[in-house]
C-alpha cells in the first residue's frame, strides 16, 4: 500500500465521484480507477458502492477513511516538521466566509493577521453557509467561517454535515432594516408577525439569516414574500424595494441610509469556525484558526 493510493482514495471519498477526483488530482480517470481497484484487492474488501451518479463509501470504506486520513495527517506533519513550518509557518490557506463577514468584520481581521503573519497568504471564498460547508467537506477549503445551524430549523437537510467540528466565535444580532420613508420608521421595535404584508429583500438560498427568517415566519403562520435576493440587501432596502432582516453590524456599516429597528422577540445567530474532524490542518491553518478565535472573541467582548 502506498501513500499515493491513500491520497487517491480520500479524494474520491470526499467528492463521491471518480471523474471529479481525477480532475482535481490531475491524473487520468482510468489510472485513478485502477489504483482504487488495486487498493480494494489488497484489502480484500469493496471500498465504494458504484452508482450511476457516482460512488458512496461502503461500511468498510467509512472505516478505512478514518485510518487513511489519520495516516496522511501524520505523514504531512512529519514533512512540515522537517521543513520548519511548525515553528515558522509560511504558505497559503483557503478560507470560506459568509458574505456578511466579508463586508464587515473580515477586512480588519485580515489586515491584523497579515501584519502578524506576513508569511501566510489567505485566500477568501465568499458564499452562504450551506455551500461553504459542502466545499469544506469536499476539501476545497481549509476552514469555513459560517453560520451555526440551530434548533429553530426543522428541515433536516440544513443540519451541519456529519464529520464537521465547529467553535463558536460570536453571536450576531439580527435586526430589521427599512427605508427612511417606511411607515415603521417611528416604531421602537417590530415583531415578525407584523411583517406579513411586507416584501422582503433577502440573502440568497443557503444563507443562515434567510433560513432563520423563513423559520420564524413559518412559526408565526405565514410565508414571507421574498421579492429580491442578493448579497447586499441593504442597497435595495434603501431604495424602498422591500424590508430586510440583517446582521446588525452589516445594517450599521457605511452605505445607503436605512432605518434599523430591533425585532421583538429578538433574533440572533451564532457564527462559528468550521473544520473537518480528523482531517489534517496545516500549521498555517492552525495559526489562522487560533487567531480568528482570539480576534473575534475579543472584538465581540
Please state, in angstroms and rounded to a whole number, the distance separating the CA atoms of residues 269 and 272: 10
The CATH number of the domain holding residue 39 is 1.10.10.10
Task: Judge if 166 and 177 occupy the same domain.
Answer: no
Task: Judge if 32 and 153 occupy the same domain.
Answer: no
Q: Which of 60, 83, 106 is the last residue of a domain?
A: 83
**The pLDDT of residue 24:** 87
Is residue 270 within 8 A of residue 140, CB to CB? The reply is: no
Number of domains composing the chain? 3
Is residue 39 within 8 A of residue 9, CB to CB? The reply is: yes
- Does 91 have pLDDT greater than 90? no
Domain containing residue 123: 91-170+270-300
Question: Per-residue pLDDT tens for 188-225?
Answer: 999 999 999 999 999 888 787 888 889 899 999 999 99
The CATH number of the domain holding residue 279 is 3.40.190.10
**The pLDDT of residue 160:** 45
Task: Judge if 260 and 275 occupy the same domain.
Answer: no
Q: Which of 55, 83, 111 is the last residue of a domain?
A: 83
DSSP H or E run through 168: strand 164-178
**The pLDDT of residue 70:** 80
- Does 157 have pLDDT greater than 50? no
Task: Judge if 261 and 276 occupy the same domain.
Answer: no
pLDDT, average across residues 51-72: 85
Q: Which of 83, 107, 123 is the last residue of a domain?
A: 83
> Could you tell me what percent of the chain has a pLDDT over 70?
91
pTM, two decimals, is 0.71
The CATH number of the domain holding residue 257 is 3.40.190.290
Task: Judge if 178 and 262 occupy the same domain.
Answer: yes
Task: Judge if 249 and 284 occupy the same domain.
Answer: no
Find all residues with CB under 8 Å of 189, minimum gap 6, and list them.
261, 262, 263, 264
Task: Judge if 162 and 274 occupy the same domain.
Answer: yes
Residue 18, judged by CB atoms within 10 A of its CB (0-12, 13-18, 19+), counts as buried
Task: Judge if 158 and 296 occupy the same domain.
Answer: yes
The β-bridge partners of 183 are: none
Amino acid at each position: 500500500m502506498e501513500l499515493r493510493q491513500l491520497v487517491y482514495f480520500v479524494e474520491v471519498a470526499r467528492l463521491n465521484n471518480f471523474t471529479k477526483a481525477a480532475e482535481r488530482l490531475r491524473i487520468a480517470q482510468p489510472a485513478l480507477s485502477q489504483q482504487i481497484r488495486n487498493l480494494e484487492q489488497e484489502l480484500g474488501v469493496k471500498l465504494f458502492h458504484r452508482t450511476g451518479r457516482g460512488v458512496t463509501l461502503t461500511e468498510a470504506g467509512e472505516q478505512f477513511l478514518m485510518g487513511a486520513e489519520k495516516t496522511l495527517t501524520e505523514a504531512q506533519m512529519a514533512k512540515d516538521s522537517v521543513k520548519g513550518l511548525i515553528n515558522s509557518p509560511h504558505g497559503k490557506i483557503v478560507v470560506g466566509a459568509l458574505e456578511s463577514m466579508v463586508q464587515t468584520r473580515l477586512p480588519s481581521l485580515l489586515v491584523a493577521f497579515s501584519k502578524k503573519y506576513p508569511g501566510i497568504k489567505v485566500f477568501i471564498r465568499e458564499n452562504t453557509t450551506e455551500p461553504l460547508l459542502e466545499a469544506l467537506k469536499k476539501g476545497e477549503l481549509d476552514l469555513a467561517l459560517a453560520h451555526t445551524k440551530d434548533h429553530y430549523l426543522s428541515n433536516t437537510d440544513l443540519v451541519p454535515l456529519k464529520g464537521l467540528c465547529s467553535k463558536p466565535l460570536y453571536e450576531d444580532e439580527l435586526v430589521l432594516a427599512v427605508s427612511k420613508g417606511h411607515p415603521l420608521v417611528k416604531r421602537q421595535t417590530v415583531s415578525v408577525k407584523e411583517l406579513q404584508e411586507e416584501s422582503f429583500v433577502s440573502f440568497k438560498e443557503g444563507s443562515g439569516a434567510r433560513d432563520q427568517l423563513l423559520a420564524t415566519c413559518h412559526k408565526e403562520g405565514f410565508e414571507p414574500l421574498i421579492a429580491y435576493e442578493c448579497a447586499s440587501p441593504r442597497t435595495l432596502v434603501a431604495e424602498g424595494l422591500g424590508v430586510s432582516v440583517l446582521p446588525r453590524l452589516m445594517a450599521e456599516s457605511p452605505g445607503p441610509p436605512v432605518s434599523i429597528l430591533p425585532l421583538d422577540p429578538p433574533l440572533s445567530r451564532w457564527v462559528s469556525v468550521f473544520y473537518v474532524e480528523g482531517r489534517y490542518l496545516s500549521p498555517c491553518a492552525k495559526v489562522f484558526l487560533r487567531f480568528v478565535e482570539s480576534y473575534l472573541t475579543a472584538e465581540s467582548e
